[in-house]
């Protein structure tokens, strides 16, 4: 962790502890998913900084996210961030960053139980369905980035509260700026409200223009489609429209 982060969090009243590898006494899965080691080159034999959870102000978070200059640095910061939800989660559920981006970004709501266990966003049945949806318009996760509104499973899968959403929002906005999407698909009611500022039931599939140069299209969450397969027709129309818009961008 860079000194600038220590300074930022020290300003927020956080005190940091230096400890040796805790694997002898802690059998809980690490909060950082395993494949993130490729990014950080972290050596578990060395001392690691273990941050205790402590209140952090929104102004401090906004200051912190101005520092990273690339997506990997931003992801490191997310992994080390002491969000109120972190202490009860099994893993930090990191975004899927497209290796060969085609201009489409998907934003979903909060991690599921499967996501929390695997550390991967949109896993389980919902993940299988979203992969089929992307395949139907000749796309895959290799080309499409996927990010959640929060990076930690909420207790019992409840809806994140206002504070929990607000403390993550600067990271989401920064990530959108770095990814520079042409089209954003929002999945579900909460994401439509938070990202598109609209009611999903009234604006499903609509093209919402933004002053930042990208178009937002709200659609149903895969979990809703599993419960109500008849809604797939509406989503299919929206996906085809997104595919057409990307080709014309």
pLDDT tens per residue, range 184-194: 999 999 999 99
Q: How far apart are CA 23 and CA 160, in angstroms?
A: 30
CATH, residue 93: 3.40.470.10
pLDDT tens string for the chain (249 positions)?
Answer: 555 444 454 444 443 433 334 444 444 444 444 444 444 343 333 443 334 455 678 999 999 999 999 999 999 999 999 999 999 999 999 999 999 999 999 999 999 999 999 999 999 999 999 999 999 999 999 999 999 999 999 999 999 999 999 999 999 999 999 999 999 999 999 999 999 999 999 999 999 999 999 999 999 999 999 999 999 999 999 999 999 999 987
Find, among 167, 192, 170, the residue nearest to 107 by Cα.
Answer: 192
Q: Tell me the pLDDT tens digit for each residue of 19-51.
A: 334 444 444 444 444 444 444 343 333 443 334
Find, among 200, 168, 185, 196, the residue nearest to 243 by Cα.
Answer: 185
Length reported for the chain = 249
The 10 Å Cβ neighbour count of residue 61 is 20
The count of structural domains within the chain is: 1
For residue 161, the enclosing domain spans 3-248
pTM of the predicted model, to two decimals?
Answer: 0.79
Query: How far, rounded to the nearest angstrom, does the alpha carbon of residue 62 sit from its chain's CA centroid?
Result: 17
């Amino acid at each position: 962790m860079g000194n600038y982060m220590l300074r930022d969090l020290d300003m927020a009243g956080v005190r940091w502890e230096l400890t040796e590898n805790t694997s002898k006494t802690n059998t809980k899965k690490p909060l950082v998913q395993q494949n993130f080691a490729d990014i950080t080159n972290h050596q578990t034999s060395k001392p690691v900084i273990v941050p205790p959870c402590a209140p952090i102000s929104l102004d401090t978070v906004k200051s912190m996210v101005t520092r990273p200059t690339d997506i990997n640095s931003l992801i490191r910061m997310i992994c080390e961030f002491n969000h109120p939800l972190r202490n009860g989660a099994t893993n930090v559920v990191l975004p899927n960053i497209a290796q060969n981006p085609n201009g489409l970004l998907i934003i979903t709501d909060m991690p599921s139980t499967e996501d929390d266990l695997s550390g991967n966003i949109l896993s389980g049945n919902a993940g299988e369905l979203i992969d089929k949806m992307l395949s139907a318009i000749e796309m895959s996760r290799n080309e499409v980035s996927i990010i959640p509104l929060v990076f930690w499973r909420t207790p019992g899968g409840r809806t994140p509260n206002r504070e929990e959403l607000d403390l993550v929002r600067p990271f989401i906005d920064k990530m959108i700026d770095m990814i520079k999407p042409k089209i954003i698909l929002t999945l579900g009611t909460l994401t439509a409200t938070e990202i598109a500022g609209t009611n999903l039931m009234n604006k499903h599939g609509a093209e919402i223009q933004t002053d930042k140069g990208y178009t937002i299209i709200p659609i149903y969450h895969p979990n809703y489609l599993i419960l109500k397969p008849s809604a797939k027709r509406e989503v299919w129309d929206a996906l085809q429209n997104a595919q057409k818009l990307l080709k014309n961008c």
